[in-house]
Copies of this chain bind each other. A is one copy, B any other.
Amino acid sequence: MIRLKDVAKKANVSPATASLALNNSDKVNAETMRRVQKIAAELNYIPDVRAKALKAKETKILGLVIPEIDNPFFSEIAKEIKRVAKKNGYNIIYCGVESQQEELDYINLFRGMQVDGAIFASSVSKVDANLALIEELAANFIPVVFINRLPKHTENIIAVNSELEKAPQVAIEHLVKLGHQKIAFAGKENESRMKGYLKALQKLNITYNNHYTFKNILSFEDGYKLGEKIAKQQDRPTAIICHNDEVAIGLIQSLVRLGLQVPADISICGIDNIRLSHFYNPALTTVNIPNKKMGRQATKILLAELNSSPEQKAKLFKNDYNFSVKLIERETTRALN
């Protein structure tokens, strides 16, 4: 293990000078700098991040907390965030969480100051048990940005949102225009999309039918199983809006397998507009959520927070970020009869 002092000794300077030289300080003689850097390279010296961070309070690492990453919606976000971060000299580590507890572990890791900042893109159950802790993290340790998690920014956390609640409404409007009234929703109770569905029904004066909301449907598999249930159902909806594209695709998969036609027999609409939805057969009608845009914005904000004066920072907190959603009409929805 090569230490700074090894480099210094070989270059005949003190550790202090060596440190300065390696950090391109203009206090050090140009010739000395070149010599030290050359020797460091020869010895393949890599500074100890822990020691460095301990003193310099910087690791150039950002943490990204996301739900376990089999959902392409999130992997697209993750990729975009990394792209922007890398371009600005920061490394990203992903923290995939499946439960409140796991998220908590990472919050503590972050509190231990391994990272310079964090983005939380993890959706969370109705009571946000970790919110207080994250608030504290943001207040005392590192800047934090949320993606689709808080309604608005709080004292210490900036939130980048999309109009998630409006997505089902957009879908319903589209379906109503096509003559549908029996419009179902498959998703998660108390989550913004499900809420948005219920609100939109009221707003558009469509009678709510208890049999038309399917709860706890989140994954491809859930959608698949739901299809088996719906195929057997008596009073079948004529259209179903799904919590995300994966559910929609799983659903279509099983409906078709059981002999139902999409969209001839039943219209299906997804939410998210993941890349796959475009290539699916039939191509999926869905509501676009600008995930990459959110990722990009969140990262920019985080970087700005890290590199700005208190006044600039205050200004950052004046803004609210709420990106709009948009229907992408493709092949899985069609006019009734």
A contact set with B: CB distance below 8 Å: 1, 44, 46-54, 59, 61, 68-70, 72, 75-76, 78-79, 82, 86, 91-96, 98, 102, 105-106, 108-109, 111-114, 136, 140-141, 220-221, 224, 250, 253-254, 256-257, 275-276, 279-281
Contacts and interface: CB of A to CB of B under 8 A. Distances in A.
A119 to B, nearest CB: 14
Given A70-B75, A75-B70, A113 B50 contact: yes
B48 A113 contact: yes
A58 to B, nearest CB: 11
Given A53-B50, A69-B75, A140-B1, A256 B281 contact: yes
Contact of A253 (B92, B109, B141, B279): B279
Contact of A279 (B59, B92, B220, B279): B220
A31 to B, nearest CB: 27
Contacts of A69: 69, 75, 78, 94
Nearest to A57: B50
Number of copies: 2
Nearest to A93: B93
Contact of A114 (B92, B98, B114): B114
Contact of A96 (B50, B79, B253): B79
A323 to B, nearest CB: 22
Nearest to A102: B86
Given A94-B94, A281-B256, A51 B54 contact: yes
Nearest to A55: B50
A54 B50 contact: yes
Nearest to A107: B46
A279 B226 CA distance: 13
A106 B112 CA distance: 20
A106 B79 contact: no
A221 to B, nearest CB: 7
